[in-house]
Amino acid sequence: MKKISLLIVTVCSVLAFGQKLSDYKYISVPSKFSTFKKEDFGLEGLLTKTLRGKNYIVIPEDKLQWPAEAQSNPCNVLMADVLNDSGFLRNKVLLQFKDCNGKVVSSAKGASNIKEYKEGYQDALKQTFISISPANPANKIIAAIQPSTEETSVSAQPAASSVPVENTSVRFSNGKTDLQKVQIDASQFILVGNNSSSPFATFKATTKNDVFRVKLQNGESTLGYYENGNIIIEMPQGNGNYSKEIFTRK
């Protein structure tokens, strides 16, 4: 229980001060991605179109071409990059969004069995779009991250301690692993093992009832939902497909 309590404090602190992709209004997309310098196979255009469709304002890499609002506070801008993560037989990409301090705010992997480079890379990139939530910028200006102080750490404690762990913990199992569901707030909860120091999965609400964006312990992003009182996670497989993992309430 002590480990779970400590975990709740940590998660709540991150939720209180961390930023997520949808908090940002501007995303900078380079004309050439870092590992696709010779040929980008249409990935830049595909990503730009998708981001605009999710209400983000896409701006170029050159800061001199940024709008005044973005220039005045570069920490209101995320930097997008698509990395070539291909193996011997499959086209794979890693989509990353970094903040002004170089911290990865969001990342997702995609893979395709299509062998042709252009079609394969585009198909792999499309797999990552499930992790991109529509833009919902925070009202406050995002400031550059400053070093933590002792005073800041102390002031963050009351918000974290307000989570009633005992009253919000419910046990679920897939037959192999027993996990506790811990409600962080009205729109977020985690599944965590008794002896684990990090969540097995973190669930964040979407605009659709009982459907959640899920961040797995290994960093992969997927979807989860309720079905007949059970928690379902679409688990990514090595071949780019997904399997249905069912966690029943105990």
Q: For every residue of the chain, which 3-state class applies, written as one string?
A: CHHHHHHHHHHHHHHHHCCCHHHCCEEECCCCCCCCCCCCCCHHHHHHHHHHHCCCEEECCCHHHCCHHHHHCHHHEEEEEEEECCCCCCEEEEEEEECCCCCEEEEEEEEECCCCHHHHHHHHHHHHHHHCCCCCCCCCCCCCCCCCCHHHHHHHHHHHHCCCHHHHEEEEECCCCEEEEEEEECCEEEEECCCCCCCCEEEEECCCCCEEEEEECCCCEEEEEEECCEEEEEEECCCCCEEEEEEEEC
Please tell me the pTM assigned to this model. 0.50
* Cα 194 → chain centroid: 24
Whole-number pLDDT of residue 24: 92
Whole-number pLDDT of residue 222: 87
Length in residues, the chain: 250
CA gap 126, 53 in Å, rounded = 13
Whole-number pLDDT of residue 88: 67
CA gap 207, 212 in Å, rounded = 9
Structure-token match 């220039």, residue found: 71
- Token pair recorded at residue 236: 């990514």
Going across the sheet that includes 104-112, the strands are 57-59, 26-28, 77-84, 91-98, 104-112
> 77 — phi, psi (to 5°)?
-120, 135
Decide if 4 contacts 165 (C-beta within 8 A): yes
* Ranges of residues in the chain whose predicted pLDDT is under 70: 1-18, 87-88, 138-169, 197, 239-240
Whole-number pLDDT of residue 145: 40
Q: What is the pLDDT of residues 112-160, one digit of tens each?
A: 888 888 888 889 889 889 888 898 886 544 444 444 444 334 333 333 3
Whole-number pLDDT of residue 197: 67
CB within 8 Å of 70: residues ≥ 6 apart: 26, 59, 63, 76, 77
